[in-house]
Amino acid sequence: MDKLKIVGGTKLKGQVRISGAKNSALPAMAASLLTVGDVILENLPMVNDIFTTRRLLRELGVGVEFDSNRSGRFRAEKVLSVEAPYDLVKTMRASVLVLGPLLARTGHARVSLPGGCAIGARPINLHIKGFEKLGAQIRTEHGYVDASAERLTGAEISFEKITVTGTENLMMAATLASGRTVLKNAACEPEVIDLAELLNKMGAKVSGAGTSTITIEGVPELHGATHRVIPDRIEAGTFLAAGAITNGELDLLDCNPTHLASVIEKFRETGVNIETAPDRIMLRSNGNLRAADVVTKEYPGFATDMQAQYMALMTQATGSSVITENIFENRFMHASELMRMGANIQINGSHAVVKGKTCLTGANVIASDLRASASLILAALVAKGFTVVDRVYHLDRGYEKIEEKLRAAGAQIERLK
């Protein structure tokens, strides 16, 4: 397994180009199952979760071609299989996003239950309840969800809890259902809006995406389309943290600052200077970070996917900060590794109290999940001596060439194969 070796102490300086959003590209790729036509997706991030989804779609019979310019052509002329196998789903739970499109397109879907992951139990009960509301018969056995329906029928679905992929899965299924579907308490994330834009380009009738009520008028069929995936707001947020923690000067290019409004606002509260332009963010940090509490919330609140990175930042801030994780029940795995580097963190249920500023020292640490691995790299960038981060396969799932981007901004980082 690859590891990353980082020597701390360098102030980051320069430009970083932000890639397309993983969490937008994954549902967009699944949406290609809804039509026989060509779906062309531009600005795809070349990360492992994208390659896993490509493998899954090919197993289902979708023709997938990537070019050298981060574009992919998807052609689901024939769906040859309706099964998303355990081997693939266990490596990437977002595979569950093929359930809605397969069910709507073929009347049948068989998807391995994702099971829990490092950050929480993460059930898909709300997805299943939604499909039952659309008239699907669902059997869960042998670790698989088996769903069938001659044709889905539009319905009103009110989510007990806001779920991003649940909203996306039901929205995709409802595009080919007969009649109208209304999703209430829906997720408002930019990735949900991006998916709705793609579906409407394919001939769907989706309105209200970005609000908590989404309406979908079912249509008999969809056609091909070309769509550019939005920038990755979490990758951008991660680089903002890298610039802030190293007292750096970074310009982030090809990003969308409006998608990061709550993160930018919080960083400004800690004393970081941030200016924005339509597609870029300019960060200047003077090193006097102030502690500030944060609570993770659904969009437009502070993203849970930025919590680990923010915790690393708060180890270098003067004062105590309370970090409250409201979305996932087990998303403080990075804290113990940060403490091994010298951080002062106390966990109490969904609250973490970080006392700063602490002098971090390099160590051997292990990444437990995608965003946790990012937080360990951030800590390593300011730690005395060198750090070796193990299990960076977590990182490669969602960050495109992060060590090259960091090195281009001055970081001393290398991949140990």
By annotation, the residues acting in catalysis are 117
Query: x-or-dash pattern for ligand EPZ, window 125-144, by CB under 6 A?
Result: xxx-----------------
Q: Could you tell me which residues come within 8 angstroms of residue 234 by beta carbon, excluding any fewer than 6 positions away?
A: 21, 22, 23, 303, 305, 306, 371, 398
As a whole number of angstroms, the distance between CA 287 and CA 344 comes to 19
Give min distance, CB of 238 to ligand EPZ, in A. 10
As a whole number of angstroms, the distance between CA 24 and CA 156 comes to 25
Q: Interface with ligand EPZ includes 163 (CB under 6 A)?
A: yes
Q: CB nearer to ligand EPZ: give 5 or 122.
A: 122
Give min distance, CB of 26 to ligand EPZ, in A. 5
Give min distance, CB of 398 to ligand EPZ, in A. 5
Choose the stretch contacting ligand EPZ; rule: CB under 6 A; options: 61-69, 73-81, 160-168, 399-407: 160-168
- Site size for ligand EPZ (CB under 6 A): 22
Q: CB nearer to ligand EPZ: give 28 or 313.
A: 28
- Tokens coding 263: 């993160």
Choose the stretch contacting ligand EPZ; rule: CB under 6 A; options: 50-58, 98-106, 118-126, 311-319: 118-126
**Which residues inside 287-346 make contact with ligand EPZ, applying CB under 6 A?**
304-305, 327-328
Q: Do 78 and 47 contact (CB within 8 A), yes or no?
A: no
Dihedral over alpha carbons 182, 186, 189, 190 (to 10 degrees): 0
Query: x-or-dash pattern for ligand EPZ, window 88-107, by CB under 6 A?
Result: ------x-------------
Q: Interface with ligand EPZ includes 123 (CB under 6 A)?
A: yes
* Binds ligand EPZ (CB under 6 A): choice among 10, 95, 165, 262: 165
Of the candidates 371, 329, 372, 332, which has an alpha carbon nearest to the alpha carbon of residue 352?
Answer: 332
Choose the stretch contacting ligand EPZ; rule: CB under 6 A; options: 83-91, 157-165, 210-218, 378-386: 157-165
As a whole number of angstroms, the distance between CA 6 and CA 11 comes to 13
Give min distance, CB of 311 to ligand EPZ, in A. 14
Q: What residues are paired with 277 via a beta bridge?
A: 280
Q: What residues are paired with 148 via a beta bridge?
A: 108, 137
As a whole number of angstroms, the distance between CA 179 and CA 99 comes to 20
Q: CB nearer to ligand EPZ: give 295 or 408.
A: 295
Which ranges constitute the DSSP H helices of 246-320?
261-269, 307-314
As a whole number of angstroms, the distance between CA 202 and CA 157 comes to 23
Give min distance, CB of 251 to ligand EPZ, in A. 24
Q: CB nearer to ligand EPZ: give 172 or 291.
A: 172
Q: Interface with ligand EPZ includes 398 (CB under 6 A)?
A: yes
Of the candidates 81, 65, 70, 35, which has an alpha carbon nearest to the alpha carbon of residue 198?
Answer: 35
Q: Interface with ligand EPZ includes 376 (CB under 6 A)?
A: no
As a whole number of angstroms, the distance between CA 35 and CA 101 comes to 9
Binding site for ligand EPZ (CB under 6 A): 23, 26, 94, 120, 122-127, 161, 163-166, 304-305, 327-328, 370-371, 398
